[in-house]
């Protein structure tokens, strides 16, 4: 039986369609539903809607449920509509009428809102940890290969000397900006919607600042109508941050797919990290990075997918909002998997350190030779023409050496500065504050 059900039973066909895949994803919300209930019931006791004895009973039961979730013993029951219903039903089965009191002053609307905010906040922290691990790998590789030259391209044409140090470092610095995007998403996500009810508040004298503090939120969603309007907006904001990380990973994956090919031969991986062909014995396919590229393309579409679900909805709650979970939850897992696999693969990457010695790359150094003439006193346009004529006559023979020294160039990667920027970006996420609040609430 549904919590809202009265005498009339809903058609099984309608029930199946409306519940959809909700239970599949609600298991991920289980710990956060209990956290929200612990804070809400503490607040109810503070305003006289629960007796102290009743609160102690509820707390003990909720913490027992929470522990079963933490150790992996919790399962969704047959016949329940969602995780919110199951937790309340479990309390009622154990405590009787006391369990029925926990829903006073809230709706499933604000209940799922707070669950999702707590879930997203935790996932932002998890994603940030994955980004940090990959960032450190990229910084390490950049430092190791600072002087290992590689071709740089414009218009997919050989252009100027680059280095593997520059290439790895570019993706490291890109991740810094991606963490800033995560931090911005965190500021939107880490606000408390609990107490907004069905989107219009409550006649109970709720203490919303109390639940905000108990759950470790930075602030309230003050306006109860806006709290409900935030359903989809917070998810889309997180999706934007995820799409930024995915863009970084996707470009790196694309480069690696190219660079592994025999026409490039810039880098490779051990045989056990690549796949083969059923017909071509020589193949070492970059399947990991091809799948990473595909998954990251899907993630980059996530903000638009969420927008298309919510963009034409008027103010208030609408049932299709539950479909956002079907978009967001798998995308979060895909992104975390891609971050893990990128680090896992790059730990074993093998760089072709003699790459630049190949004759086909000698024109990379045309600008270097032009600049040498300029430094010796030749006007730039004259030096440009002189080198250009040597190339046309087939007489161009460069030194194949690079002496860049300015900030962010081959000889001065600025890795320490990039590391400092990342540390500042990660500090802005400030996870310990809410983690301590949740630990205090649940233990």
Per residue in 373-393, pLDDT tens?
Answer: 999 999 999 999 999 999 999
Residues β-bridged to residue 268: 350
Measured CA to CA in angstroms, residue 45 lies from 32, 34, 394 at distances of 20, 17, 88
> Which two three-digit tokens encode residue 165?
């140090």
Phi, psi of 412 (to 5 degrees): -150, 75
Confidence of residue 277 (pLDDT cuts 50, 70, 90): low
Do 246 and 98 lie in one domain? The reply is no
Whether residue 417 sits in one domain with residue 326: yes
Mean pLDDT (whole number) for 279-304: 92
In this model, does residue 185 exceed pLDDT 60? yes
Q: Has residue 312 been placed in a domain?
A: yes
368 domain-assigned: yes
**Pair of tokens at residue 300:** 């980059």
CA torsion, points 72, 75, 76, 79, in degrees to nearest 10? -170
Burial of 311 (0-12, 13-18, 19+ CB in 10 A): exposed
Strands (E), 155-217: 157-163, 191-192
Residue 181, in any domain of the structure: yes
Q: With 80 as the cut, is the pLDDT of residue 18 above it? A: no
Same-domain check for residues 257 and 368:
no
Question: Phi and psi at residue 163, in whole multiples of 5°?
Answer: -150, 160
Residue 400 shares a structural domain with residue 288: no
Q: What is the pLDDT of residues 56-89, one digit of tens each?
A: 999 999 999 999 999 999 988 887 888 988 999 9
Note whether 138 and 240 are same-domain residues.
yes
Q: Using DSSP bridges, classify how beta strands 350-351 and 267-268 pair: parallel, antiparallel or unpaired.
A: antiparallel
C-alpha dihedral sign at 307, 310, 313, 314: negative
Q: Are 295 and 399 part of one and the same domain?
A: no
Confidence of residue 1 (pLDDT cuts 50, 70, 90): very low
Mean pLDDT, to the nearest integer, of 86-114? 93
> Domain total for the chain?
3
For 284, residues 6+ apart whose C-beta sits below 8 A from its C-beta are 260, 268, 269, 271, 274, 275, 276
Residue 296 lies in a domain: yes
Q: Determine the pLDDT at residue 430.
A: 78
Mean pLDDT over the full length of the chain:
93
Average pLDDT estimate for 246-272 = 95
- 378 and 234 assigned to the same domain: no
Which one-letter DSSP state was computed for residue 267? E
Q: What would the two tokens of residue 212 be? A: 């905000």
Both structure tokens of 2: 């549904």
DSSP state letter for 362: G
Count Cβ atoms below 10 Å from residue 283 Cβ, excluding itself: 11
Return the percentage of the chain with pLDDT > 90, whole number: 81
Given pLDDT bands bounded at 50, 70 and 90, which one contains residue 10?
low
Find the CATH number of the domain harbouring 238: 1.20.200.10
120-124, 263-267, 306-310, 429-433: which has the minimum mean pLDDT?
Answer: 429-433
Identify whether residues 260 and 328 lie together within a single domain. Answer: yes
Rounded-to-integer distance, Cα 288 and Cα 343, Å: 12
What lies within 8 Å, CB to CB, of 79 at 6+ separation is 1
DSSP 94-117: HHGGGGGGGGTT--HHHHHHHHHH
Instruction: Determine the pLDDT at residue 82.
Output: 85
Report the pLDDT value the prediction gives residue 17, as an integer from 0 to 100.
78
DSSP code for 274: S
What's the pLDDT at 219? 95
* pLDDT score, position 80: 82
Of residues 309, 308, 306, the one with CA closest to residue 318 = 309
Residue 2 has pLDDT above 80, yes or no: no
Residue 235 is part of which domain span? 109-149+161-201+222-356+413-430
Residues 6+ apart with CB under 8 A from 436: 216
**Phi, psi (rounded to 5 degrees) for 153:** -125, 145
417 and 314 fall within a common domain: yes
Residue 352 has pLDDT above 80, yes or no: yes
Confidence (pLDDT) at 9: 67
pLDDT-based confidence at residue 4 (cuts at 50, 70, 90): very low
How long a stretch of residues is the chain? 443
The answer to whether position 7 is within a domain reads no
Provide the token pair at 278: 């059923």
- pLDDT for residue 7: 53
The answer for residues whose C-beta is within 8 angstroms of residue 142's C-beta and 6 or more apart is: 164, 165, 166, 167, 168, 169, 172, 413, 415
Shared-domain flag, residues 285 and 368: no
pLDDT-derived band at 285, boundaries 50, 70, 90: confident
Q: Are 440 and 218 in contact (CB under 8 A)?
A: no
Residues 397-425, mean pLDDT to the nearest whole number:
93
If asked whether residues 276 and 323 sit together in one domain, one would say yes
| 71, containing H or E segment | none
Report CA-CA distances (Å) from 371 to 281, 410, 413. Answer: 47, 16, 21
Q: Is 207 inside any structural domain? A: no
pLDDT of residue 327: 96
Confirm whether 439 is domain-assigned: no
Indicate whether 41 and 114 sit together in one domain. Answer: no
Cβ burial of 367 (10 Å; 0-12, 13-18, 19+) is middle
Lowest pLDDT segment from 79-93, 162-176, 187-201: 79-93
Which pLDDT value is given to residue 370? Answer: 94
pLDDT of residue 12: 77
Average pLDDT over residues 418-435: 92
CA distance 274 to 345: 10
Residue 275: is its pLDDT beyond 90? Answer: no
pTM (two decimals)? 0.92
Please check whether residue 209 lies inside any domain of the structure.
Answer: no
């Amino acid at each position: 039986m549904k919590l809202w059900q009265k005498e009339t039973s809903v058609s099984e066909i309608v029930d199946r369609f409306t519940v959809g895949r909700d239970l599949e994803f609600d298991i991920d919300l289980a710990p956060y539903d209990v956290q929200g209930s612990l804070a809400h019931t503490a607040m109810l006791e503070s305003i006289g809607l629960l007796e102290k004895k009743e609160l102690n009973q509820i707390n003990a039961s909720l913490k027992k449920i929470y522990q079963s979730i933490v150790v992996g013993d919790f399962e969704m029951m047959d016949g329940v509509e969602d995780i919110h219903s199951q937790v309340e039903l479990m309390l009622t089965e154990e405590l009787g009428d006391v369990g029925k009191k926990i829903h006073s002053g809230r709706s499933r609307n604000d209940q799922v809102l707070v669950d999702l905010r707590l879930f997203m906040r935790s996932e932002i922290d998890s994603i940030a940890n994955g980004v940090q691990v990959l960032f450190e790998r990229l910084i390490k590789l950049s430092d190791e290969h600072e002087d290992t030259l590689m071709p740089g391209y414009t218009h997919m044409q050989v252009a100027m000397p680059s280095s593997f140090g520059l290439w790895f470092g570019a993706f490291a610095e890109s991740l810094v900006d991606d963490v800033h995007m995560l931090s911005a998403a965190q500021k939107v996500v880490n606000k408390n919607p609990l107490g907004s009810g069905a989107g219009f508040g409550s006649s109970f004298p709720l203490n919303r600042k109390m639940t905000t503090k108990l759950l470790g939120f930075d602030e309230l969603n003050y306006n109860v109508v806006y709290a409900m309007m935030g359903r989809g907006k917070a998810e889309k904001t997180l999706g934007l941050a995820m799409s930024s990380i995915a863009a970084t990973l996707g470009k790196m994956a694309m480069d690696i797919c190219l660079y592994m090919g025999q026409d490039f031969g810039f880098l490779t991986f051990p045989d056990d990290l690549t796949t083969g062909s059923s017909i071509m014995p020589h193949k070492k396919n970059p399947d990991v990075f091809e799948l990473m590229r595909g998954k990251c393309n899907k993630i980059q579409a996530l903000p638009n997918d969420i927008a298309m679900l919510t963009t034409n909805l008027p103010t208030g709650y609408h049932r299709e909002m539950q479909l956002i979970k079907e978009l967001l939850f798998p995308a979060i897992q895909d992104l975390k998997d891609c971050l893990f696999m990128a680090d896992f693969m790059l730990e074993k990457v093998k760089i072709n350190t003699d790459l630049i010695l190949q004759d086909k790359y000698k024109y990379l150094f045309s600008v270097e030779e032009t600049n040498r003439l300029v430094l010796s006193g030749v006007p730039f346009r004259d030096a440009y023409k002189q080198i250009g004529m040597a190339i046309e006559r087939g007489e161009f023979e460069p030194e194949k050496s690079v002496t860049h020294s300015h900030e962010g160039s081959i000889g001065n990667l600025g890795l320490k500065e990039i590391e400092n920027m990342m540390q500042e970006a990660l500090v802005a996420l400030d996870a310990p504050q809410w983690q301590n609040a949740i630990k205090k609430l649940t233990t």
